[in-house]
Amino acid sequence: MWNTIVNPGAVMIAVLGCALSLAQDMPHQPQGNQIPGPGQFAAQQDWYQEMMQFKGDPNADHDAWLRDLKAWRAERLTRMGYDDAEYRRPEFQWTQRNFISPQVMVEERNLFDAATGRWTVDKYLDDLEKRYGGIDSVLLWPVYPNIGIDNRNQWDLARDLPGGIEGVRAMIADFHRRNVRVLFPTMAWDNGTRDPGVPHWTATAQLMAEMGVDGVNGDTFSGLPRAYRTGSDQSGHPVIFEPEGAPQADEGLMWNNQSWAYWTFHFQPTASKQKWLEPRHMSHICDRWARDKTDDLQHAFFNGMGYVSWENIWGIWNQITDRDAEALRRVAAVERHFADLLSSKDWEPFVPVMQYGIFASKFPGTGVTLYTLVNRNEYDVNGEQIALASASGRRYYDAWSGTELKPVERNGAAVLSFSIEAHGYGAVLAVDSGARVSELDSYLKRMSELTRTKLAAYSHEWHFLPQQLVDIPRTGVPAGAPEGMVKIPAGEFEFKVTGIEIEGTNWAGLDVQYPWEDSPRRGHDHRMRIDSFYIDKYPVTNAEFGKFLAGSGYKPRDAHNFLRDWKNGAPPAGWENKPVTWVSLEDARAYASWAGKRLPREWEWQYAAQGTDGRVYPWGNTWKDSAVPARDEGRDLTGPADVTAHPEGASPFGVMDMAGNVWQWTDEFVDTHTRAGILRGGSYYRPRNSIWYFPATYKLSEHGKYLLMAPSKDRAGTLGFRCVVDGK
C-alpha cells in the first residue's frame, strides 16, 4: 500500500517526459563516433559482435536504418543550432580535399639535414611520393617527447627550430610550393613549463601567424574550444583546427573543420558520425601503432575520409608495408579525383550489395555518383557485386580498375559484375547521359596502370629499422691521471639499462640498438669487459668551459641558445662552479677534442657511477635527499647546484654528480630517419602537471633518449657533460 499522496500533475509531467525521451530513442543511432550499419549487433559486447557477425544482414533493415539515421541527424543539427559558416569559408575549403596527412617529427632526417643545417622538404616529399603517392598536408611536431627537459614551453620549442621563425617560414613555403599544407600542434597539458603570459589560444594564434601555418592540431583535445577559433581570426592569419579526438560535443563540428578518428574495428565497417552530421568535415583515421593498415585504409575509403600516414612515431620507425603503401596510393588516387563527390550532402553508407563481406557507400553528385567498396573477406570476391538504378544512357565504370562496366538489366536494375581481391577495394562510377567527369579518360588510364598488379603481389611483412651506434675515436693514453679526473679500473661489468620512453610498450624498434643486439628494444642486459679509463670527477663547469672558449676561439655554426644563461660572454656571478648547460652534443664534442678527451660511452658512464654491485643510485640502494640537489618543479629554471655541493652522492669510485644535478651527454644512435642522444644522470628540474614531459630518472638502471635535430633546439638548460680519457 502507498501511504504517500501523489500529485497528479507531477505524474503527468513525468509520463510526458518519458514519452518525449522514448520518441528520440530510435533503434539505430551512432555508438560514440561510429555508426554501426544495418543488421549489426551494435548493442552487444565486442566479443559477441565478432562471434555473431556472420548472422548480420546489412541489407535486411537497410530502409529502417537509413530512415532512423536521417531523423537522428535532423534532430541533432537542430539541437546544436548548426551553422556551416566555417565550411563555406574559401580559405578553409582545402580541408575538404585533405585526404593523406602524416604526422612527422621535425627531427626526421629526410626533412632536415643536420650536416648542412638545412631543411630538405623536397627529399622528404619525394620519398613519400615514391612509396605511396604523396600527401596533401603534414603535421610537423617539434614538442613531445623532448619537452620538459627544461622549462621551454611548446611555443619556445617551435621558435628554437633551425633558422628561427624566418627559417620555418621558408620551410613552409617549400611545402606550399609542392601543394602541401602545414599544421603545427598545440598542447593543453603544457602548464608546467614557462608561462607564456597569455592564454594558450592567444599564444598559439600569434605563433601560427608568425610562421604562416595553415592549421593547428590539438594534441589530446576532443575538439578545440571556440576561443581558439576567435583568437586565430583576431590574429589576422586564420587557420583551421584539427583536434586529436573528434569533438566531444557535436557543436564543435562548427569550428573544427578536421579531426582524427581513433576507431574500434570489426569485420563489418562502421560509418563516421562526424561525416554523417557534416559531410564536409574531414576526419582522418589514425592508428599509428598498427603494423597492418588494412582496417585503417578500408574504413577511410568506405567513408570517403582521410588517413594519418604516420610512420616516425616519437623517433620510432613504423614504416607502412609495401602492400599497404600501394593500397594507400590507389585509395588516395580515387579520393583526390572525386573529392567533390566525397563531400556530398547526400552521401549514404551501407548501400545494399550482393555479396557477403562486401560493403559499399554512395556519394551522389549532379548526374554522377561514386560508390566506394571494400572486401572485408580474406579471399577474392568475383561476380555480381551491386545492383544500381538503371537509366537510359547511364554508363558505369570500374573506377578502381579503370575499365568500363557493362551492366546486366534485371528487374529494372543495372547489375554490375567485377572482382575485388581479398582485403581489397573497389569503386564504381555511374555517369548519366550528358554529365561530364573532369579528365575521366586520363583518370581511367592511370587507374588501369596503377591496378595492373594485384595488391597481393606486394609484401605485407613489417620490419623494424636497424640502428647504428656512432663511433667515438679513442684518445691518447696519458702518463698519469689527468688533473681533475678519476681512474676507473678495468673490469667485468653487467651493463643493464632500460629506456624510459613514455610510449611504445615493448615495441621492436623502441629505444636503441647496441652493437651486440639484433634490434632496438627497451630493455638491455649485456655482460662485458671494460678497459680502464679516466673520467672527470665532476661535470664540466662554466669556468672550465670559459677556458675552452678563450683557448680555442670556438664559435658554433648554429649559435642559437648557445650558453643561453651566460651574459656578456660570461656565466652569471657565482655560477662558475656549476655545470655548464645550454651546450649541444656538437659543443660538448668540441670541448672534449680541445681538451684531448672524449665523451664517455654510456656503459663507461654507468660503470663509473655504479661500480660492480648493481646498485640503484651512485651512493647505494637507499634514496638520500641530501645526495642530490632539491627538486625544482617551478616554471622558471633556478639553475643547477655547484658540482661540489653534494659529496654524499659520490659513486663507488668517488665520481661526483652522477645523479640529479644535470643530464649528461653520452652516446649517439642513428638510423635512416632519426638521431638520438643517450642522456644519463637525470636533472634537478621536473615540471609538474603532465605525464607527457620528458621522463625523469635518478636510477642508474635507466636512461633517457633525447631526439636530436639541430643545436639550436637540442641545447637545454639542464643538459651538460663530462669527459673521459682512455687508459692503458
3-class SS string, 616-633:
CECCECCCCHHHCCCCEC
Cell numbers for 387: 545492383
- Burial call 478-500: b when 16+ CB within 10 Å, e when fewer: eeeebeebbebeeeebebbbbbb
User: Per-residue confidence at 60, pLDDT binned at 50, 70, 90?
Assistant: confident
Mean per-residue pLDDT for 128-145?
A: 98
pLDDT in tens, 73-100: 999 999 999 999 999 999 999 999 999 9
pLDDT above 60 for 46? no
For position 226, what pLDDT does the model report? Answer: 97
User: Per-residue confidence at 39, pLDDT binned at 50, 70, 90?
Assistant: confident
Helix and strand element counts for the chain (H, E): 18, 33
CA distance readout (Å), 356 to 34, 52, 303, 360, 376? 21, 14, 19, 12, 9
Where exactly are the structural domains of the chain?
468-726
In this structure, of 1-5, 127-131, 445-449, 620-624, the range with the lowest mean pLDDT score is 1-5
For position 728, what pLDDT does the model report? Answer: 80
User: Per-residue confidence at 11, pLDDT binned at 50, 70, 90?
Assistant: very low
**H or E stretch covering 78:** helix 62-79
pLDDT above 80 for 195? yes
For position 24, what pLDDT does the model report? Answer: 60
Q: Please check whether residue 278 is in contact with residue 284, taking contact to mean a CB–CB distance below 8 angstroms.
A: no
Mean per-residue pLDDT for 105-124?
A: 98
More confident residue, 16 or 209: 209
For position 61, what pLDDT does the model report? Answer: 87
Using DSSP, state whether 368 is helix, strand or coil.
strand
- Average pLDDT of the chain to the nearest whole number: 94
Helix 585-594 and helix 542-552, axial crossing angle in degrees, nearest 10: 70
How many Cα atoms occupy the beta-carbon half-sphere of 586 within 13 Å?
18
How many Å separate Cα 322 from the centre of its chain?
21
Please tell me what DSSP assigns to residue 381.
B
DSSP states along 558-596: S-TTTTTT-BTTBPPTT-TTSBP-S--HHHHHHHHHHTT
User: Per-residue confidence at 40, pLDDT binned at 50, 70, 90?
Assistant: confident
Nearest in space to 716 (alpha carbons), one of 671, 670, 677: 677
Nearest in space to 33 (alpha carbons), one of 244, 294, 288: 244
Burial of 80 (0-12, 13-18, 19+ CB in 10 A): middle
Say how far apart CA 688 and CA 691 lie, in whole Å: 8
**H or E stretch covering 495:** strand 491-499
For position 447, what pLDDT does the model report? Answer: 98
Say how far apart CA 301 and CA 330 lie, in whole Å: 10
**H or E stretch covering 302:** helix 294-303
Residue with cell 634514496: 623
User: Per-residue confidence at 7, pLDDT binned at 50, 70, 90?
Assistant: very low
More confident residue, 502 or 29: 502
pLDDT in tens, 380-435: 999 999 999 999 999 999 999 999 999 999 998 999 999 999 999 999 999 999 99
Please tell me what DSSP assigns to residue 190.
-
For position 123, what pLDDT does the model report? Answer: 98
User: Per-residue confidence at 613, pLDDT binned at 50, 70, 90?
Assistant: very high
Please tell me what DSSP assigns to residue 521.
B
User: Per-residue confidence at 305, pLDDT binned at 50, 70, 90?
Assistant: very high
Q: Looking at 517-562, which runs of residues are DSSP E strands? A: 523-530, 533-536
Cell numbers for 162: 633551425
pLDDT in tens, 656-694: 999 999 999 999 999 999 999 999 999 999 999 999 999
User: Per-residue confidence at 59, pLDDT binned at 50, 70, 90?
Assistant: confident
User: Per-residue confidence at 52, pLDDT binned at 50, 70, 90?
Assistant: low
pLDDT above 50 for 647? yes
Positive or negative: CA dihedral 329, 330, 332, 337: positive
User: Per-residue confidence at 20, pLDDT binned at 50, 70, 90?
Assistant: very low
pLDDT above 60 for 42? no
Please give the model's pTM, rounded to 2 decimal places.
0.94
pLDDT above 80 for 16? no
Say how far apart CA 150 and CA 418 lie, in whole Å: 60
Please tell me what DSSP assigns to residue 295.
H
Nearest in space to 286 (alpha carbons), one of 253, 311, 254: 311
Say how far apart CA 410 and CA 417 lie, in whole Å: 13
For position 587, what pLDDT does the model report? Answer: 98
pLDDT above 50 for 650? yes
Burial of 320 (0-12, 13-18, 19+ CB in 10 A): buried
Residue with cell 639499462: 497
Nearest in space to 119 (alpha carbons), one of 706, 712, 717: 712
Domain 468-726 has CATH 3.90.1580.10: yes
Instruction: Show the CA angle centred on residue 654, arms to residues 648 and 660, nearest 5°.
Output: 50
User: Per-residue confidence at 49, pLDDT binned at 50, 70, 90?
Assistant: low
Burial of 216 (0-12, 13-18, 19+ CB in 10 A): buried
Mean per-residue pLDDT for 696-718?
A: 98
In this structure, of 14-28, 96-110, 343-357, the range with the lowest mean pLDDT score is 14-28
Edge-to-edge strands, sheet with 240-245: 103-105, 137-141, 181-187, 215-222, 240-245
pLDDT above 80 for 698? yes
pLDDT in tens, 532-591: 999 999 999 999 999 999 999 999 999 999 999 999 999 999 999 999 999 999 999 999
